[in-house]
Structure 1
Amino acid sequence: MDIIGLVASELKIKKEQVEATVSLLDEGATIPFIARYRKEKTGSLDETYIRDISERVGYLRTLEARKEEVIRLIGDKLTPEIEANIKEATTLQAVEDIYLPFRPKRRTRATIAREKGLEPLANIILEQMEDPLNHVEEFLSEEVETIDDALGGARDIVAEIVSEDFKTREWMRRITRRSAELEVNVVEKKKNLPEAKTYQNYFEFKIPLKNVAPHQVLAINRGEKEEFLTVKITVDSNSLIQSLKALWLKTDAPHTEQLELALADCYTRLLAPAIERDLRREMTEGGDKQAISVFQENLRHLLLQSPVRGKVVLGLDPGYRTGTKVAVVGSLGDLLATDTIYPHQPQNRWDESKAKLIELIKEYKVDLITIGNGTASRETEALASEIAQETDVAFAIVSEAGASVYSASEIAKEEFPDLDVSLRGAISIARRIQDPLSELVKIDPKSIGVGQYQHDVNQKELSEALDYVVESAVNHVGVELNTASWSLLQYVSGINKTIAQRIVAYTRTEGPIFLSIGNNPLSYSFINATYILQK
C-alpha cells in the first residue's frame, strides 16, 4: 500500500507535503514544532493537517502490520484468493472479517457437527444441485441417530460458513446500517425513580440508526449502563433474510430448501447479534469522537483566555457550613494571605466577613476579586457586590472546576506544603484570572469540566486528545524558561516531567539558563524545546 500517496489523496494535499511531514514526525519532531518552525518543509501545513496526517498514517501502518500478522496466523490455510483479499482490505474491520473463519474459537454447534462427520452433507446443501435427502442416510451413526439430526447439524455448519464470509458480513452490515432503527425504552420498575428523570427523553424513543446524534448515543449508553434504559437495534428481519438469500441462492438451483432454512437460522442466531454489536460499537466510537472534539475545543478556548496580568487578586472559594476560603495572590502569583470567612448559613456572620475582606483589600491593595462558580457562588457574589460598592474593587465569577483536584495534587503540595488543603483551592481560583494557562495546566485536563459525558467516552483517547490540546496551547503561547513551573514546562515539546523538574531545580539553585542551538546536530527533543522556549 502506498500510504503516503493514499493520505495525500484523502487530504487533498501534495504527496511531497505528506512525505516531509511523516519524515519529521518519524525523526521525533512534535506537531506544534512542525507547524511553527518547519513550514518550509511541509508547505505551510497547519496543526490540523499535521495531526490528521499523523493519525491517518498511524492507522494505515497499524492496518498493514495487522495484515501481515493475519497472513502469518492463517498459515497453511492461506490461499492466493484469501491473501489478495487481505492485502486489498482498507479497514481493520475488513481484515478481522476475513480472519474470522480462521480465528481460534470455542466449540460451536458447527464444530460439533463437523466432529460428527457432517461437513460433506453441508457442502451438498451449499452446492444446491443435489437433494440432501438422497444422501442423508449415509451420515447416520450412533452420534447422528435421525435424519433431522443429520440435516440440522449440516445446516449449523452452513450457517457458520455463511456468517463468517467477510463479503456477506460487510454487505449485511451495510444494509442494516442503512435501514435499521434504534429503539430505546425505560425499565418499567425504575420509571418513577427520581434518577430516571435524567433519561425521560428516551423512555419511548425510536429513530433511524443513521440519524442518531452523537450526544444521544452517549446519553443512551449511560442510561443503559445505569440500567434505566433498554436498547436494541430493530430491523425488518424478513427483508434482511431475503437479502441474504439473494446472495447465496443460485439462480434456478433445484434444491434450496435446506439452504433457505440454514440462511434464516444464520441471520437470526449468528449474523443479527454480531451486526448489532458491531453497529453499537460504531455508534459509540462516533459519539466518543464527537464528544472528545467538543472537549478539545472547549479546553483550548479556556486555556487561551487572555490573562489579567499585573493585578493583585483576592480569590474566594465559596462554601456554607465549612466557610468560604480566602486567598490573596500578588501580581506575580505569589501567595500573600489566606483566611476563612463564614458569611452564609448556618453561621451567617455577614458583616464580620465583609469587614475582614475589606481589611484584606486595603492591606494588600487588591485590584480584583474572583469567585468560584460552585456551591454558594451566588450568595458570595452578593457579598462581593456590596464590597465593590464600598471599595470600587471589581469582581468576576470564574470556573472552579478542578480546584479541589489541584488542592490535593502533588503540585499543590510542592507549592504550599504547610498550607491546609482546603485553602489551596482559593489560590487556584485567584490565579486562574491572572494566567489561565499557567494555572490550568496543573490540573488533569479531564477534571477541568469542559464537556459532558467525560466518564463515558474512551478514557485513553480522551486523555491523549486533551493532553495534545494542552501541549498545543503551551507551545502556541511559549514559555519563559527561568520562571515557569515544572507543571507548565512539561508540556513544552521535547520536555517531559522529569526534565521539567530538573530545569526548575537548576534555575533555583544555579540561576538562569541561556539557550543556544549552535551548529551541532541535535536531537529533535532538544530542538523542539529550544525553539518554543525562545519564543
Structure 2
Amino acid sequence: MQKIIAQIAQEIGVRTQQVEAAVTLLDGGATVPFIARYRKEVTGGLDDIQLRELEVRLAYLRELEERRAAILKSIEEQGKLTPQLQAAIAAAPTKQELEDLYLPYKPKRRTKGQIAREAGIEPLADKLFADPTLDPTVEAQAYVLKDKTEAGDDFTTAAAVLDGVRDILSERWAEDAALVQSLREWLWQEGLFQSKLASGKDENNVDVAKFRDYFDYDEPIGRVPSHRALAVFRGRTLEILDAKLVLPVEPEPGKPSIAEGKIALHLGWSHKGRPADDLLRKCVAWTWRVKLSLSTERDLFTRLREEAEKVAIKVFADNLRDLLLAAPAGPRVVMGLDPGIRTGVKVAVVDATGKLVDTATVYPHEPKRDWEGSLHTLARLVEKHGVNLIAIGNGTASRETDKLAAD
C-alpha cells in the first residue's frame, strides 16, 4: 500500500502524508466533496480536483496490484515463473502491459497451436525457424502420423503438419509482449481511423444524414479530435457507419504489409529465397492477419474512446465552471460569505463580470471570536472593490454571519 501511496503522491505533486490521510478517509466511507469541504486540515488542503484524481488512481492501482498478484500466482502454479518474468510483471505500470506479459501463460481453450504441440510438431517448428535452409516438406515427413489422434486431429499429411507449424509459430509470436506493444504504439502513431457508410444504408435518410461527414473519412488515429471519434463510435453503435483501423499504406496484392514487415524485423528474419522462407512468410502473415490485426484494432479503439471521453468530460466541466462562475446577480460586484465556526468564514469577491478578484478568511466566531478584526477585513474589501451586494451561504453559523454582515 505504501508503494501505491508514494506513486499517487508523486503523480499529483503532494506529500505522502496528505495522500495517506485522504486514503484513510476514503476507505472510511467519506466522499470527495465531504473531504474537500470539511477535512482540509486533515489532508493538508487537498482540493476536490486533486482528491478526485487521487480516488481514481487509487482504485486503478489497487486493481492493478490485485491483478498482478493473481497473475504471479497463476504462472507460479504452472511452474513457469522465472526471475526475469517475475521482474517484468513487477515492473509493469499498466493493466494492458500486465495482460500482454500474461498472455502466453493465460489458461485458454484448446487452440490450433496447442493441438499441434500435443501432436509433437513443435520441434519441427523450432527447427525450420532456426534453419530456413531446410526443406519443410522433407522435414515434415518425420512428423506425419499414420492415423488421426484420439481427439480426432488430423496430421496424416505433410501439408497438415506444416499447417501445424504455422499455427505454433504464429501463436507464439502473437503472444510476444514486446512485439504486441511495439505494433500497438506504431499503429497509434501511424494507423488510420477510417469510417464509411454501412452497406444498405440510405444516405438521404434524416437520421443517417447526420453522419454525412463520416461516410468516407479517415484520419491518423492518434490525432483524431475527441468530437470526431465519439461521432464515429456513435454512428457505429447505431449501425450507420463501419469503422476500422487501417494501415498507413495498403499493401499491393500479393505483397506483405508494413505490419508484417515490422513483425519480421522484430523476429530478425527476412526472405532470402531459402527453402523454408515461403512457409515462414506465411507464418508472419498469419500472425498479423489472423492473430494480431483485430485485437490491436480493439485495443486502440478502446484507447481512443477513453481519451475522447476524458476530453469531452473536461470540455463539459470547463463550460459548466464558466457558467457557475458567471456574474451571479447581473453586473454587480458581489461579496460571498461561506459561514464557518472552527474553520472561519471564507470570503470571496467577484467583479461585475463574475471574475474572482479577492479572497480572505475571517474568524468572528468560536474559538477566536475576532469580531472587530473581521469587520475591519470586510469593510476594507467593500471599500477596495466597491461591493454593492453580499451573499451568505446557508449552513452552520449562517445566522451569526448574517449579523456580522449587517454590522
Normalising by structure 1, report the TM-score: 0.54
**C-alpha contact 1:31 1:50 (8 A) present in aligned 2:** yes
Choose which of 102, 109, 113 in structure 2 pairs with 1:99: 102
Structure 2 letter corresponding to 1:119 = E
**Kept after mapping to 2: 8 A contact 1:181/1:208:** yes
Say if 2:133 and 2:276, in contact at 8 Å, map to a contact too: no
**Residue pairs, 1:10-49, within 5 angstroms:** 10-49=11-50
Counterpart code for 1:2: K
2:143 aligned residue: 139
State the identity %. 34
| Change in CA separation of 1:6 and 1:149 when aligned onto 2, cut-off 3 Å | same
Say which of 77, 84, 87 aligns to 2:87: 84
Amino acid at match of 2:130: E
Q: Tell whether 2:82 aligns with 1:71.
A: no
Task: Say yes or no: does 1:249 pair with 2:258.
Answer: no
Please report how far the alpha carbon of residue 16 of structure 1 lies from its aligned counterpart in structure 2 after TM superposition.
2.9
Would you say the 8 A contact 1:185–1:202 is kept in 2?
Answer: yes
Amino acid at match of 2:95: L
* Contact in 1 for aligned 2:36/2:46 (Cα 8 Å): yes
Number of the residue aligned with 1:416 = none
- Is the CA contact 2:339–2:395 (under 8 Å) kept in the aligned structure 1? no
Q: Is the 8 A contact 1:249 1:256 kept in 2?
A: no
Aligned to 1:219: 231
Q: Is the 8 A contact 1:71 1:78 kept in 2?
A: no
- The Cα offsets for residues 264-305 of structure 1, whole Å up to 9 and x where unpaired, read as 210111111110111111112222223334445556667788
Comparing 295-304 with 22-31, which one deviates more in the overlay?
295-304
User: d(CA) in 1 for partners of 2:245 and 2:271?
Assistant: 34
- What is the aligned residue count? 315
SS in 2 for 1:8: helix
Q: CA shift at 1:533, angstroms?
A: 5.6
**Residue 170 to residue 256, structure 1, CA distance change in 2 (3 Å):** farther
The aligned counterpart of 1:152 is 163
Alignment partner, residue 289 of structure 1: 310
| Alignment partner, residue 205 of structure 1 | 217
Cα gap change, 1:154 to 1:12, in 2 (>3 Å): same
Is the contact between residue 199 and residue 223 of structure 1 (CA under 8 Å) also seen in structure 2?
A: yes
- The answer to whether the 8 Å contact 2:113/2:171 transfers is yes
By relative contact order (CA 8 Å, sep 6+), the higher-ranking structure is 1
Map of 1:264 onto structure 2 = 285
Distance 2:191 2:57 in 1: 29
- Counterpart of 1:92 in structure 2: which amino acid? K
Residue 187 of structure 1: how far off its partner (Å): 2.7
1:467-524 alpha-carbon deviations (Å, 9 max, x no partner): xxxxxxxxx999xxxxxxxxxxxxxxxxxxxxxxxxxxxxxxxxxxxxxxxxxxxxxx
In the aligned structure 1, how far is the partner of 2:185 from the partner of 2:339?
46
> Which whole-Å CA distance do the structure 1 matches of 2:270 and 2:197 have between them?
46
Aligned residue runs from structure 1 range 398-417, under 5 A = none
| Letter in structure 2 aligned against 1:3 | I
Residues 477 and 199 from structure 1, CA distance in 2 versus in 1: closer, same or farther, beyond 3 angstroms? farther
Note the C-alpha offset of 1:211.
1.4
Q: Which residue of 1 aligns with 2:195?
A: 184
Deviation of 1:263 (Å): 1.3
Flag structure 1 segments of 5+ consecutive residues without an equivalent: 309-475, 479-531
Q: What is the CA RMSD across the aligned residues, in angstroms?
A: 3.0
CA separation of 1:247 and 1:37: change in aligned 2, threshold 3 A: same
Q: Aligned-pair distance for 1:205?
A: 0.9
- Give 5+ residue unaligned stretches, structure 2: 148-153, 252-256, 330-337, 341-393, 398-407
SS at match of 1:2: helix
The letter for the 1-side match of 2:38 is Y
Give the C-alpha shift of residue 128 in structure 1: 3.8
Amino acid at match of 2:396: Q
Does the aligned pair in 2 maintain the 1:128–1:250 contact within 8 Å?
no
**Residues in 1 aligned to 2:339 and 2:175: alpha-carbon distance in whole angstroms:** 53
Q: Residues 25 and 477 from structure 1, CA distance in 2 versus in 1: closer, same or farther, beyond 3 angstroms?
A: farther
Write the distance in 2 (CA, Å) between the matches of 1:54 and 1:188.
44
Contact 2:144-2:161 within 8 A present in 1 as well: yes
Shift of 1:123: 2.2
Map of 2:365 onto structure 1: none
- Tell me, in whole angstroms, the C-alpha distance in 2 between the residues paired with 1:169 and 1:32: 41
Give the aligned partner of residue 56 of structure 2.
55
- Give the AA of the match of 2:88: N
Kept after mapping to 2: 8 A contact 1:124/1:132: no
Using a 3 Å threshold, how does the CA distance of structure 1 residues 66 and 247 change in structure 2: closer, same or farther? same
Q: Secondary structure at the match of 1:232?
A: strand
- 1: distance between equivalents of 2:109 and 2:143? 24
Q: In the aligned structure 2, how far is the partner of 1:152 from the partner of 1:252?
A: 19
Contact 2:339–2:396 (8 Å) recurs in 1: no
Q: Does 2:133 match 1:122? A: no
Tell me which residue corresponds to 1:280. Answer: 301
Give, as a single letter, the amino acid of the residue that structure 2 aligns with 1:212. Answer: V
Local SS of the residue matching 1:185: strand
Amino acid at match of 2:198: V
Q: Deviations over 1:330-355 (max 9, x none)?
A: xxxxxxxxxxxxxxxxxxxxxxxxxx
- Give the Cα–Cα distance (whole angstroms) in 1 for the partners of residues 105 and 261 of structure 2: 27
Partners of 2:271 and 2:258 in 1: CA distance = 21
**Aligned-partner Cα distance in 2 for 1:29–1:63:** 23
Secondary structure (helix, strand or coil) at the match of 1:149 reads helix
CA distance in 2, matches of 1:250, 1:68: 36
Among 233, 236, 239, the alignment partner of 2:258 is 239
- Offset of residue 307 of structure 1: 8.1
Counterpart residue number, 1:534:
396
